[in-house]
Amino acid sequence: MKNAIVTGASSGIGQALTKRLLALGFNVTGVSRNIDEALFNQVNFKALQCDLSDEKQTLQLAEQLKKEEVFILINCAGFGKFAPHEELSAKTISQMTFLNLTAPMLLTNATLRSLKKNGGYLININSIEALRASKFAGVYTATKAGLKAFSDSLFEETRKSDLSITNINPDMTQSSFYDELHFDVTQNDSEKLLATDIADALQHILTMRKGAVVTDYTIRSLNFGIKKK
């Protein structure tokens, strides 16, 4: 069985992607601060606890992953805080930048030789914010635009290999991402995405002819909606 690594696997989009990969027959290592095997209760699932906003823990994980055979790496872990820039703390700016951008680059660096050798998939769960500019989202948007630029450049760099690289850019998706924010998705199904929509996109990417690559997979809700708390 082929091996997949999913960061942010304990909730939201990452959890939905992990469930879909397990259903498709992959061995999955789920990475998160608080995660254990009982969350999925599957023999092909392994939990790996790591705080990817912490440099020391992330570097240790990267060293460990260099020894692994990897077919799929999905960088999904991330968080956002939306406020006037002068109101963000230095700690928030640093942690958001590290988790959303630096950690994916480090984990990709650690697994890239294996991904290329195995003709696998690198999938970065990005954001619609990578494609536009929104107020009160300067740092978050910068990290997501940076992750997209990294993916696009790496795609050009590795085109002589059989590695497929895709940015998935979801619009607002119902998940725990909004738990600590002052806004959320609405209850209207046409005004939000579900985590399973992103899992459907993943399955589409993995079942396409290997000679074709969707480098950017943008998913929007049919209608616009937002709920203030």
Domain definitions of the chain by residue range: 3-228
Rounded Cα distance, 128 and 221, in Å: 11
Q: How confident is the model at residue 41 (pLDDT cuts 50, 70, 90)?
A: confident
Nearest to 181 by CA among 133, 227, 124, 126: 227
Mean pLDDT over 60-89 rounds to 97
The neighbour count for residue 67, using CB atoms within 10 Å, is 8
Token pair belonging to 24: 């498709």
Average pLDDT in the chain? 96
How much of the chain, in percent, has pLDDT values that exceed 70?
100
Residue 23 φ then ψ, to 5°: -65, -30
Nearest to 228 by CA among 175, 172, 181, 170: 181
Rounded Cα distance, 206 and 102, in Å: 25
CATH number of 3-228, picked from 1.10.10.10, 3.40.50.720, 3.40.50.300, 3.40.50.1820: 3.40.50.720
Residue 30 φ then ψ, to 5°: -100, 130
Mean pLDDT over 212-222 rounds to 97
Could you give the 3-state DSSP secondary structure of residue 173?
strand
Rounded Cα distance, 208 and 219, in Å: 17
Rounded Cα distance, 53 and 103, in Å: 7
CA angle 215, 220, 225 (to 5 degrees): 155
36 φψ region: left (φ > 0), alpha (ψ -120 to 50), beta (else): beta
92-127 pLDDT per residue, tens: 999 999 999 999 999 999 999 999 999 999 999 999
Beta strands in the chain (DSSP E): 3-7, 27-32, 45-49, 72-75, 121-125, 164-170, 183-184, 216-219, 227-228
DSSP code for 175:
S
Mean pLDDT over 197-218 rounds to 97
Rounded Cα distance, 52 and 6, in Å: 12
For the cut 90, the answer to whether the pLDDT of residue 24 exceeds it is yes
Mean pLDDT over 72-98 rounds to 97
145-203 pLDDT per residue, tens: 999 999 999 999 999 999 999 999 999 999 999 998 999 999 999 999 999 999 999 99
Q: 180 or 19: which carries more pLDDT confidence?
A: 19
193-203 pLDDT per residue, tens: 999 999 999 99
Residue 42 φ then ψ, to 5°: -130, 135
How much of the chain, in percent, has pLDDT values that exceed 90?
96
